């Protein structure tokens, strides 16, 4: 499977001085670099390999220089494992005097990489973010989706494609709402393997790295915190309440949050604050980057039916759609900001995207039966921001229709999917 970000990454590597690809562990960063080298000449160096690590430690610059040629790609995977590599990369990049070097580094998480970039590579490197497989990728689509059309086009006459396989759409949606987009479980068919994978992912990849990098002493408290964060995904972050539930101080909660963000397992949305007269809440909103993390924490037996019975499904669906929208933007290399909006009176908009000079407010509903009550938050937001032309309601339906003069209901598959007629 060709990942959508691959096209964007290739363009950046050949235009920018250097590039960095970051993302959570096990989302396919190494795979993408190796796929590119099947078509283009270059060298792949993985510092996950202990032998390579020992060799490069002796002379980082000499090692990289011996593998570098300006007409070939040089890919360095997990450079944060040998911090001296960053200074060596800085020298290589500067020797090219502003020209593209065709160098790309890839690293899991963003904590160590961003720290090293700030120290050694500031102003020299373009950053791209890879998240788990998107809806469009799993459906075999392209990297130009309905969301891109909303951002790029002034055309408001949205139409449904002539042929749509609604059975396949429903099957993919239901599958992704449980098994998400991490490539190994998403593309597997064995249920027990998928369940073992997510549990091993946390115990084998996430917790050991956090213990090593952040010297976590109270692992049981941290594990409890992680479960609670995923349970509260899609809700406002109440640090005091979390501290009481976990049994630690609020500064410890701040530290735990920082660590989860560093591993890129959660996204935090700040409140959209453009009207100083409006009294808004101050808490951030938490999103998990994959539904599989939510099902593992919520004890749904990895079942949408049980999630519905336990009244978790709406939260899972909102989280899923929000992250899918962010995936589209990351994959296309867009410059954007994402927010949510909520007043102290309770009026709320689930997601607000600023991109290409536009502000797009989205309400997300996990039902096909839409009423005017479902858009009350959108209407309140649009009333406070009268310069904005439209708001959008995303739902798992089949039709595009005007639910209000300023609100359009859009099927989730249309926003997340890719269709040639949109170009």
Quick one: 276 and 387 in the same domain?
A: yes
Read off the pLDDT of each residue in 231-252 and give the average, rounded to a whole number: 94
Task: Name residue 343's beta-bridge partners.
Answer: 280
pLDDT of 156 over the 80 cut: no
Domain boundary among 80, 113, 129: 129
Q: What is the mean pLDDT of the chain?
A: 93
Quick one: 279 and 169 in the same domain?
A: yes
The CATH number of whichever domain residue 55 belongs to comes to 3.40.50.300
- Dist. CA 272–CA 280, nearest whole Å: 9
Quick one: 87 and 141 in the same domain?
A: no
Query: What pLDDT does residue 180 have?
Result: 98
Q: What is the pTM of this model?
A: 0.95
Quick one: 156 and 285 in the same domain?
A: yes
Asked if residue 246 lies in contact with residue 225, where contact means CB atoms within 8 angstroms, the answer is: yes
DSSP assignment letter at 236: B
Quick one: 200 and 252 in the same domain?
A: yes
Quick one: 285 and 304 in the same domain?
A: yes
Read off the pLDDT of each residue in 293-310 and give the average, rounded to a whole number: 95
Provide the Cα torsion 131, 133, 137, 139; round to 10°.
-150
Query: What pLDDT does residue 119 have?
Result: 75
Quick one: 306 and 361 in the same domain?
A: yes
Quick one: 139 and 25 in the same domain?
A: no
In the block, which residue shows the tokens 């749509």? 164
Alpha carbon separation from 29 to 22, 75, 109, 202, 345 (Å, rounded): 8, 11, 11, 18, 43
Q: What are the strands of the beta sheet with 348-355, ordered from one edge? A: 285-288, 266-271, 336-342, 348-355, 358-364, 391-395, 407-411, 401-404
Give residue 112's pLDDT band: very low, low, confident or very high (50, 70, 90): low
Q: For the chain, how far is it from start to end, CA to CA, in angstroms? A: 22
Quick one: 280 and 416 in the same domain?
A: yes
| Alpha helix ranges (H) inside 247-402 | 250-262, 291-298, 304-309, 313-331, 376-384
Read off the pLDDT of each residue in 143-169 and give the average, rounded to a whole number: 86
Quick one: 110 and 39 in the same domain?
A: yes
Query: Considering only 108-117, 199-208, 347-356, 391-400, which range has the smallest mean pLDDT?
Result: 108-117
Query: What pLDDT does residue 209 have?
Result: 80
Q: Of all helices (H) and strands (E), which one includes residue 43?
A: strand 42-46
Query: What pLDDT does residue 164 have?
Result: 86
Token digits of residue 187 = 């593309």
Quick one: 90 and 159 in the same domain?
A: no
- Dist. CA 13–CA 175, nearest whole Å: 34
Range of the domain at 366: 135-422
Domain boundary among 129, 162, 186: 129
Read off the pLDDT of each residue in 42-48 and give the average, rounded to a whole number: 97
Query: What pLDDT does residue 385 have?
Result: 94
What value, to the nearest 5°, has the Cα angle with vertex 340 and ends 378 and 320? 95
Under 8 Å CB-to-CB from 160, ≥6 apart: which residues? 398, 399, 400, 411, 414
pLDDT of 285 over the 70 cut: yes
Bin 354: left if φ > 0, else alpha if -120 < ψ < 50, else beta: beta
Asked if residue 290 lies in contact with residue 264, where contact means CB atoms within 8 angstroms, the answer is: no
Number of domains into which the chain is organized: 2
Token digits of residue 374 = 């479902």
Domain boundary among 99, 129, 159: 129
Q: Tell me how many helices (H) and strands (E) the chain has.
A: 20, 13
Quick one: 155 and 121 in the same domain?
A: no
């Amino acid at each position: 499977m060709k990942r959508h970000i691959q096209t964007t990454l290739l363009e950046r590597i050949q235009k920018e001085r250097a590039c960095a690809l970051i993302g959570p562990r096990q989302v396919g960063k190494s795979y993408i670099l190796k796929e590119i080298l099947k078509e283009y000449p270059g060298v792949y160096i993985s510092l996950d390999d202990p032998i390579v690590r020992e060799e490069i430690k002796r002379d980082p610059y000499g090692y990289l220089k011996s593998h570098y040629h300006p007409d070939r790609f040089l890919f360095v995977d997990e450079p944060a494992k040998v911090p001296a590599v960053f200074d060596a990369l800085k020298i290589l990049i500067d020797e090219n005097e502003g020209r593209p070097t065709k160098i790309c580094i890839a690293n899991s998480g963003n904590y160590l990489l961003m720290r090293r970039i700030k120290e050694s590579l500031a102003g020299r490197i373009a950053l791209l973010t890879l998240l788990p497989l998107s809806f469009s990728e799993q459906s075999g689509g392209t990297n130009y989706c309905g969301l891109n059309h909303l951002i790029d086009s002034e055309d408001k006459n949205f139409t449904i494609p002539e042929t749509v396989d609604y059975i396949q759409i429903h099957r993919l949606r239901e599958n992704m709402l449980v098994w998400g987009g991490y490539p190994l479980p998403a593309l597997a068919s064995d249920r027990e393997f998928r369940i073992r994978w997510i549990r091993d992912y946390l115990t084998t990849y996430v917790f050991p790295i956090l213990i090593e990098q952040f010297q976590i002493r109270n692992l049981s408290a941290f594990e409890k915190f992680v479960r609670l964060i995923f349970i509260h995904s899609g809700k406002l972050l109440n640090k005091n309440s979390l501290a009481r539930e976990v049994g630690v101080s609020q500064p410890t909660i701040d530290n735990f949050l920082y660590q989860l963000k560093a591993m890129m397992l959660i996204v935090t949305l700040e409140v959209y604050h453009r009207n100083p007269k409006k009294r808004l809440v101050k808490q951030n909103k938490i999103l998990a980057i994959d539904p599989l993390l939510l099902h593992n924490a919520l004890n749904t037996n990895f079942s949408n039916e049980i999630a519905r019975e336990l009244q978790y499904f709406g939260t899972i669906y909102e989280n899923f759609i929000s992250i899918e929208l962010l995936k589209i933007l990351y994959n296309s290399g867009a410059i954007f900001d994402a927010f949510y909006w909520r007043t102290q009176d309770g009026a709320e908009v689930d997601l607000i995207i600023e991109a290409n000079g536009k502000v797009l407010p989205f309400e997300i509903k996990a039902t096909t039966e839409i009423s005017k009550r479902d858009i009350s938050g959108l209407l309140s937001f649009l009333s406070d921001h009268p310069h904005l032309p439209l708001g959008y309601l995303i739902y798992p339906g089949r039709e595009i229709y005007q639910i209000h003069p300023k609100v359009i209901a859009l099927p989730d598959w249309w926003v997340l999917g890719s269709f040639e007629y949109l170009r």
